[in-house]
Structure 1
Amino acid sequence: MDDSSTQSKINLSTALPCPRNVAIFTYQPLDASGSLRLLKVQPDTLDGFLQIELEEITDSTPYHCLSYMWGDQTTRFPIRLNGQAAHVGKNLYNFLKVAKRRFPGEAFWIDSLCINQADDHEKSSQVQRMGSIYRDATDVIIWFG
């Protein structure tokens, strides 16, 4: 496999700017077939960006699932994902701001960030597991925006 099939960069073509000198987030392939990524919203960075920590897990870490409408993806909002530049749509951005206040330090599974959307193999594998991902969650949060 070449690097383009295992690592993907977030599309920045329709994004609001991130600060200079910040690397663009690159997904690393999942190590184990039963693993998944979870995220936690951290306190904002000094420059005011939402800070998200994304981590691969294979154990029974408790987490919330988010079910939400992706909405319009033409305008993207900058965040820091593991300290690197990334962008999310407006609806998810608004949820992440609320999650930072209401669920500090708690883990989430959010498909658009926890699945490498540019890797068809990973996306297919994770989509097949979505039933168990939602079933194993502590709860499912439905967000309309």
Structure 2
Amino acid sequence: EIRLVRIHGGSKHEVIKCSLKVVSLSACPSYEALSYRWGSNRQLETVQLDGHDFDVTPNLAAALRKFRKRKNRLLWIDQLCVNQTDMDERNEQVPVMGQIYSQARKVLVWLGVDSHQEAPLAQQLIRDL
């Protein structure tokens, strides 16, 4: 079993609201996986997860704001779907991460906010690879 997180629709200025859903990896609904750079653990940001405050890294909060749409979106995101304080759970989940990513309908990649307007250069580099 794995957890998937439903990002509830909203504008970029609204509080990020999410809910978790436990599914069987062998029979799970269509989802996207988010691959991102964790970034700094300082100055964590708060999202609502199942109605409770939950701290996430600023880079993940920025990704959630960027990828959130007006409608709900089902994703697998390690920071939200794996209990990071439970070493037993982490040790169980890490070996299946390859399967989690390969079964995703789409893998979204987030490197961070493009403060230097370098996204077109990065996209060209990816096309060239």
TM-score by length of 1: 0.70
Displacement of 1:41 in angstroms is: 1.1
AA of the residue aligned to 2:100: I
Find the partner of 2:15 among 49, 52, 66: 49
For 2:50 and 2:36, how far apart are their aligned partners in 1? 22
Contact 1:67 1:140 in 2 (8 A): yes
Runs (5+) with no aligned partner, structure 2: 113-129
Unaligned runs of 5+ in 1: 1-34
Q: Distance in 2 between matches of 1:54 and 1:127?
A: 19
CA contact (8 A) 1:41 1:99 kept: no
Q: Is the 8 A contact 2:9 2:69 kept in 1?
A: no
1:116, 1:68 → 2: CA distance?
17
1:55 CA displacement: 1.0
**What is the letter of the counterpart of residue 38 of structure 2?**
W
Higher helix share: 2
Q: Distance in 1 between matches of 2:28 and 2:51?
A: 25
Tell me by how many angstroms 1:96 deviates. Answer: 0.7
Question: The residue matched to 1:129 in structure 2 has which SS?
Answer: helix
Task: Tell me how far apart the structure 2 counterparts of residues 75 and 143 of structure 1 sit (CA, whole Å).
Answer: 19
Q: CA RMSD in A?
A: 1.4
Aligned partner (choices 56, 79, 85) of residue 53 of structure 2: 85
Q: Is the aligned partner of 1:113 residue 2:80?
A: yes
Q: When the two structures are superposed, what TM-score results if normalisation uses the length of structure 2? A: 0.78
The runs of at least 4 consecutive aligned structure 1 residues that moved more than 4 Å come to none
Partner of 1:101: 69
Report sequence identity in percent.
33
| Deviation readout 1:54-82 (Å, 9 max, x if unpaired) | 11111221111111000011111111100
